[in-house]
Amino acid sequence: MTSLLIADDHPLFRAALRLAASESLPDCTVREAADLSGVLAALAAEPDTDLVLLDLHMPGSQGLSGLATLRGQHPSVAVLVVSAHDEPRIVRRVLDHGAAGFIPKSASPAEIGEAIRHVLDCGNWLPPGLAAAVAALPANPADTDLASRLARLTEQQSRVLTLLAEGLLNKQIADRLAIQERTVKAHVTAIFEKLRVRNRTQAGMLLRSLDLGEPARVG
């Protein structure tokens, strides 16, 4: 059975996405999360989830950071971004960081259903009104380089990086992940090497480059 996870902090919009998904795929299982920690917990509980419908702005995730976290910690799960951030240059960045498609929050239920079916069939999806404009934009070298560096991290290293970016110390990270502190230190060393940074400050600055600012409409 197809399993979907809707990640959005607005209950009414989650309900609209659930309805569109259920009408498009009557036999699918749909779960919901209102923040990034809920998304990660849901995926840890159900790692065989087929697709995440991800809002770019919700607690714990601003801009592309949530997308990068999901791609790092759950690389086999497809991500379809749903956002009011629908400027072509933003959509280009979303694709460069590994999303399988993009749905603007102004999309109709029929369009949402079409996008879900298309991505589940292993395709990529953009709304017709955006596809040509996005295709005309070249990939940003900084984004493709950062996406490549983040992709080199193991799933556990990605978890450590997320906690490191939150300002946690090695001991706190060890406690959170139930691993030894020396293991965390080894992960941090590997993270710095793979990301080509020298310290936590530089790693944090790298992740802050994923911020998009606030969308023009609720996102």
Q: How confident is the model at residue 165 (pLDDT cuts 50, 70, 90)?
A: confident
User: Among 71, 53, 74, 38, which Cα is nearest to 3's?
Assistant: 53
Give the orientation angle of helix 65-73 with respect to helix 36-45, to 10 degrees. 20
Query: What tens digit of pLDDT does each residue of 53-69 get?
Result: 999 888 888 789 889 98
Residue 34 token pair = 């209102």
Q: Are 164 and 173 in contact (CB under 8 A)?
A: yes
Distance between CA 8 and CA 173 in Å, rounded?
26
Query: Which residue has 């990529």 as its token pair?
Result: 124
What is the Cα Rg of the chain in Å? Answer: 17
Q: How confident is the model at residue 217 (pLDDT cuts 50, 70, 90)?
A: very low
- pLDDT at position 173 is 96
SS3 label, residue 34: coil
Give the orientation angle of helix 181-195 with respect to helix 155-165, to 10 degrees. 90
Q: How confident is the model at residue 213 (pLDDT cuts 50, 70, 90)?
A: low
**Model-level pTM?**
0.84
Query: What tens digit of pLDDT does each residue of 104-153 get?
Result: 999 999 999 999 999 999 889 999 889 999 999 998 898 889 989 998 99
SS3 label, residue 17: helix
Share of the chain above pLDDT 70, in %: 97
Instruction: Tell me how crowded residue 161 is: count the other CB atoms within 10 A of its CB.
Output: 28
Distance between CA 219 and CA 177 in Å, rounded?
31
User: DSSP secondary-structure letter at 165?
Assistant: H
- pLDDT at position 214 is 56
- pLDDT at position 65 is 87
Phi, psi of 30 (to 5 degrees): -120, 125
